[in-house]
Amino acid sequence: MEDSSRMEHSIVSLTDDLLLEILSRVPYKSLCRLKSVSKSWLALCSDPIVRKKAPQTLSGFFFQSYREPTFNPSNLHHHFTNLSGRGQPMVDVIDPSLNFLFSANYVEVRFVHCCNDLLLCCCKESSDGECDRVVFNPATEKWTVLPKTEARLGRYAMHLGFDPTVSSHFTVFLLSKRMRLIIHHQVRAVEIYSSQTGRWTYHQSQWGEKSIEIFSSSVFYNGALHVTTLDSSVNRVDTGGKIWRTVPMPYYSRFIGMSQGLLYAVYSPRYSSQLSIWVLKDYGGKEWSLKQAINSVESFGTHNIFFEDGVPPDVIAIHPECSLVFMILGPRRNIVSYNIDNRKVHDICNLADQSVFPYLPYIPCFAEWFSDGH
């Protein structure tokens, strides 16, 4: 009791400014726990200045399904699951139903892509209406509509790039495609939107004949978009459309991502129980190192990932700060995390059959990044 009183007296003796500075360095999840200490702590931990500065990490996943009940006429229901799979889904931080977008006269919201704390969605004011491309922050409920571009009339894919540690501005890459096969496309041009200028710029593709899939994996890394190709390589273009590069990979990888400052690729061949995780330790070079080869049957235990149609597990994310790979396994479609270091598997949630691509890893951020948003 005496130690507790001494600690409380020490805390009280600190000025509010100093307390705010200390708390702003505490991870947001810890701040949520500290709110229950007392009313004064609740007020301090809820201070907008503290929330904006607090360090953030991967907190969970947004996904969508046709499961009832739905909150919009398109019959799409929006979900968020914590990384642990337990507890309420950050209800004090985000509204998984995205009601703030529906209150803006949108009747349909479809996930397209994400990067850190920003999401890119297709939003419609009527079921047969034109699609608005909207970038928004679920934590602050700030959003902005991208200006129109003629490239949307053809086949294209859109990828979001944003690194809050480098800049408060985001970039959207629109890859205009020419069909080669049913799901294989060549990129003929890339249009790049900058939130700093508020404009699209057109760039003829310099990636040559390499093909990508409709849902190619991508990552925003070192200030550039990286997207996988069907030719066992990664295509790269920077935010200014000035630097184009192709980085060879050891195999065609179904997933690329960034973790602990390094580029990772996961190779999962069809009709096989093997997974291999590769890392590009020297970004300036082309040498990929095998991080780990996984025998899925042995590593995942009760999770049987032998499918009759030979479809490998879907890798959906890698933790940006530690050796965790997230994937969807088995006929029950479970999101699980796999720890590369100790080979342990943790169940996060069951998606059921109604869930639909994509599955978006989310890092909350409370800073006001948009100057032109709604």
Across the range 242-253, mean pLDDT stands at 87
pTM of the model: 0.82
Per-residue model confidence (pLDDT) at position 365: 79
Show the CA angle centred on residue 352, arms to residues 350 and 356, nearest 5°: 110
* Beta-ladder partners of 362: 60
pLDDT by residue (tens digit) across 14-50?
566 676 666 655 665 566 666 666 776 666 666 666 5
Residue 213, SS3 per DSSP: strand
Q: Which of 148-162, 273-287, 332-346 has the lowest mean pLDDT?
A: 148-162
- Is the distance from CB of 10 to CB of 34 less than 8 angstroms? no
pLDDT band at 370 (very low <50, low <70, confident <90, very high): low
Distance (Å, whole) CA 23 – CA 29:
12
Measure the CA dihedral 134/137/139/142, to 10°.
-70
Kindly tell me if the per-residue pLDDT of 133 is higher than 90.
Answer: yes
pLDDT by residue (tens digit) across 215-233?
688 999 999 999 998 888 8
Across the range 70-76, mean pLDDT stands at 60
Q: Give one DSSP letter per residue of 342-370, joined into a string.
A: T--EEEEEE--TTEEEEEEEE----S---
pLDDT band at 115 (very low <50, low <70, confident <90, very high): very high
Distance (Å, whole) CA 61 – CA 85:
10
Extended strands (E) in 38-162: 60-65, 77-82, 108-115, 118-124, 132-137, 142-145, 156-161
Burial letters for 152-182: b for 16+ Cβ neighbours within 10 Å, e otherwise?
Answer: beeebbbbbbbbbeeeebbbbbbbbbeeeee
pLDDT band at 1 (very low <50, low <70, confident <90, very high): very low
- Is the distance from CB of 266 to CB of 255 less than 8 angstroms? yes
Per-residue model confidence (pLDDT) at position 262: 92
Per-residue model confidence (pLDDT) at position 303: 58
Q: Which residues contact 103 (CB under 8 A, 6 or more apart)?
A: none
Amino acid code (one letter) for 47 = D
Kindly tell me if the per-residue pLDDT of 85 is higher than 50.
Answer: yes
Distance (Å, whole) CA 313 – CA 328:
6
Q: Structure tokens of 199? A: 């404009």
Greater pLDDT, 95 or 241 = 241
User: Tokens 């404009």 label which residue?
Assistant: 199
Distance (Å, whole) CA 71 – CA 69:
7
Q: Structure tokens of 165? A: 């540690």
pLDDT by residue (tens digit) across 303-317?
554 444 455 678 899
Amino acid code (one letter) for 7 = M
